[in-house]
Structure 1
Amino acid sequence: MKPARRSLLLALALAFFAASAGTASAIPWDMGGKVPPSETPAPETPDPLCQQSYANDLPEAGPRLHFGVGPRLAGEIGTGQTTPLTPENWRKRDQALKRLAGDRDFTVRLNRLFLSDGWKGIRKFQKMARHYGRLGFGVELQVRYHPRPAQNGNLRAWLDYVRKVVRAFGPIHSVRTLQITNEVNLSTSPNTSDGAWEKSTEALVAGVKTARRYSDRIGHGHLMIGFNFAWRFGPQADADFWNRLREVGGKELRQATDWVGLDLYPGTYLPPAALITDYGDAFLEALAQMRECYMPMAGFGPRFPIKIEETGWPTGPGRSEADQKEILREFVSTTHRYRGTYNLTDFRWFGLRDNNSQGPDLQSFFGLLRDDYSRKPAYGEYRKLIASHGAGRKS
């Protein structure tokens, strides 16, 4: 074969293979993590409900992660608490927190600061924030809309409350972060999430903007303001949430937002444990969808940090403590490996202690500790990972 003809055939072959590689079809959301990133093709647009897999990116290093945990007992899904809570032992709790943090930067996420509780709730949380600050921890507040019936849909009352929160907590040195509203895309559980209340999206948007502007105005500009999203609780509802943020919030919301939080529970809610092949890859699916599909719907690009605000895997009937340890490791390791890829800055485990280690269902068993403060294997694993991957303590 003549050299010129051989060169032509080689060029044609290379062009064919390049074209073939470029036309690989996107695959549906790989909910169980069965397809590794190396075999995942690029997603295709449009994808209005984020139904494709986006987990085809390479891991990239970044700044060390800031770890934390929720030290308060967990809220139950639904309209209120139904299972009796085993009383807390503050001394044992604090000892467990200090041992878990070691010499790393560590944040406690204080959930369930409700509008409906007014000043009484604020004073209770001020006491907690000062206490954890004395222990050397940073504090993150979950500022819930959760109105009383007479306040439902009353944005004036809500924004007045947000300003009270800023005034009350801005001077407390340990308080670093305000999460405004909780899981507004989730409308079926008013006890744990704010989507069930009237004008909840408007409350998120106006609350974030008010918190940012008022903090800056009265000298508490150090407070970092953000909101969160409960991943995969309904394709249409999730997409509607982000599109609504774009419509209602627009550029002003983005300018007021310092970070965006992600709540995800693979193997507990969605996807169910029976469908998961690889927990780390299933977790990665969520990170990639959040960064590349959901957030862009509202104009939130790569410069906005993502915080893993809530993730966990409860033990309990049919769910072993050994599995919890391994799954925690997968979740943390995946976040660590892809922190640069997706601008991941924080990781919070939900939560420190079981509500009730004799409880009737998995909602009672989220803790790293049993309700007598004895350690599950996941506690030691999380402590080790914090020491290995965590950022140094802030001054």
Structure 2
Amino acid sequence: MGGLQPWNTRRAADFRTAAAANSTWIRSDLGWEYLEQTPGSWKWSLFDQVVKDTTANGMRYLAVLHTVPAWANGGVGDYGPPSDLSLLTNYCYQTVKHYLPMGVREYEIGNEVNLPHPGMTYDGVNYTTRYLKPCVAGVRKAAAEVKMPVTILGASLAPTDWTGGTDPLKFLTDAYANGARGLFDALAWHPYTGADWPAISRNMNSLPASLAAVMAANGDGAKKIWATEFGQATGGTYPWSEQDQAKLVTAALTTWYSKPFAGPLFWYSARDSGNSTTDREQHFGLLRNDGSQKPSYPVLKSLLTR
């Protein structure tokens, strides 16, 4: 579930609603561009309270490590890697060293890294050498120092159907060919289904099965694929009705958790971020913008257990 970032002025109410739905995790940023806005000055206070709110509500925090500050990469865009990769290692090290003792045990290295982003559209080679390896080195160093285990999620791949980008199967194959094996504990995938229902969607079925086959061919067959984003908008362009969104909840969870490779599925998102009639990104919530429940909320609540 999303929408619980530091800038959400209704975060306390949203957390209560998420906890009441038996949510196990929230997924949110611990973004570099926010934490180290000037070199060497760490702004932990921005996210500390969100992490404390998460644990206080009995949930875990899946942290996305991404977004490069302009001072580190010459302002090419927030996914352009720094010219000095040791800066990326240090960000991942400092962040995990601070937040692991606070209960943040799961870290996702990037978000939809195969899709176009300002500064870089990654392929498997660039991602592994210029993002995954440097960041994982920092994460593992911090975990060793504080003597606590971490779970690292690699790739955070997404379908290219609507945005273009690098084919996820080629991306993962190239990542393994360039040393990705052993760097992550699970693979992250976003099985958005577009206009299709989950039972017939390639993105929910054959494509992640093929990703699992690539993992198995590289000795990672025992590792799971986490669906770290999934949902459907009820407003903006190409909306689904609220009733169909509610039906989708059951269909998605039933389809996903029938897979032998399935790890946790994260619904995107907790609450609508706005009321625009044209921006579908504002309408993925289980709650409307005013906090009232869509029909999907009680359905998800009935399916989740802790």
TM-score by length of 1: 0.65
- Report the counterpart of residue 128 of structure 1 in structure 2: 50
* Cα distance between partner residues in 1 of 2:54 and 2:102: 11
Report SS of the residue matched to 1:110. strand
Structure 1: where are the runs of 5+ without partners?
Answer: 1-68, 74-84, 268-272
Are 1:347 and 2:265 counterparts?
yes
Shift in CA distance, 300/124, structure 1 to aligned 2, threshold 3 Å: farther
Structure 2 Cα separation of the partners of residues 199 and 238 of structure 1: 14
Select which of 147, 163, 167 maps to 2:97. Answer: 167
Distance in 2, Cα, partners of 1:296 & 1:145: 30
How many residues align structurally?
285
Q: Which of 122, 134, 143 in structure 2 is aligned with 1:207?
A: 134
Give CA deviations for 1:34-89 in whole Å, capped at 9, x if unaligned.
Answer: xxxxxxxxxxxxxxxxxxxxxxxxxxxxxxxxxxx22337xxxxxxxxxxx9x631
Q: Which amino acid aligns with 1:189?
A: H
Q: Which position in structure 2 is the counterpart of 1:144?
A: 66
Return the offset for 1:365: 0.5
State which of 162, 178, 184 in structure 1 corresponds to 2:113.
Answer: 184
Find the counterpart in structure 2 of residue 367 from structure 1: 285
Q: Secondary structure at the match of 1:384?
A: helix
Tell me: CA distance 1:167–1:236, structure 2 relative to 1, closer, same or farther (3 Å): closer
Pair member with larger Rg: 1
Does 2:96 match 1:156?
A: no
Q: 3-state SS of the aligned residue for 1:218?
A: helix
Of stretches 111-120 and 217-226 in structure 1, the one that deviates more from structure 2 is 111-120
Q: Is the 8 A contact 1:354 1:364 kept in 2?
A: yes
CA-CA distance at 1:346 after TM superposition:
0.9
Equivalent of 1:238, from 164, 168, 179?
A: 168
Q: Which has the higher contact order (CA 8 A, sep 6+)?
A: 1
Map of 1:310-389 to 2, 5 A cutoff? 310-317=229-236, 318-338=239-259, 341-342=260-261, 344-387=262-305
| Amino acid in the other structure paired with 1:227 | G
Q: Confirm or deny: 8 A CA contact 2:51 2:102 kept in the other structure.
A: yes
Q: CA deviation at 1:285?
A: 2.8
AA aligned opposite 1:363 = E
Q: Cα offset for 1:359? A: 4.5
Distance 2:147 2:232 in 1: 36
Q: Which residue of 2 aligns with 1:219?
A: 146
Judging changes above 3 Å, is the alpha-carbon distance between structure 1 residues 137 and 235 closer, same or farther for their aligned structure 2 residues?
closer
Is 111-120 or 322-331 further displaced after alignment? 111-120
What TM-score do you get using the length of structure 2 for normalisation?
0.82
Q: Percent same amino acid at aligned positions?
A: 20
Partner of 2:228: 309
Contact 1:184 1:201 in 2 (8 A): no
Q: Could you list the structure 1 runs, at least 4 aligned residues long, displaced by more than 4 angstroms after superposition.
A: none
1:249-288 → structure 2 map (5 Å cutoff): 250=179, 253-267=180-194, 273=195, 276=196, 278-282=197-201, 283-288=204-209
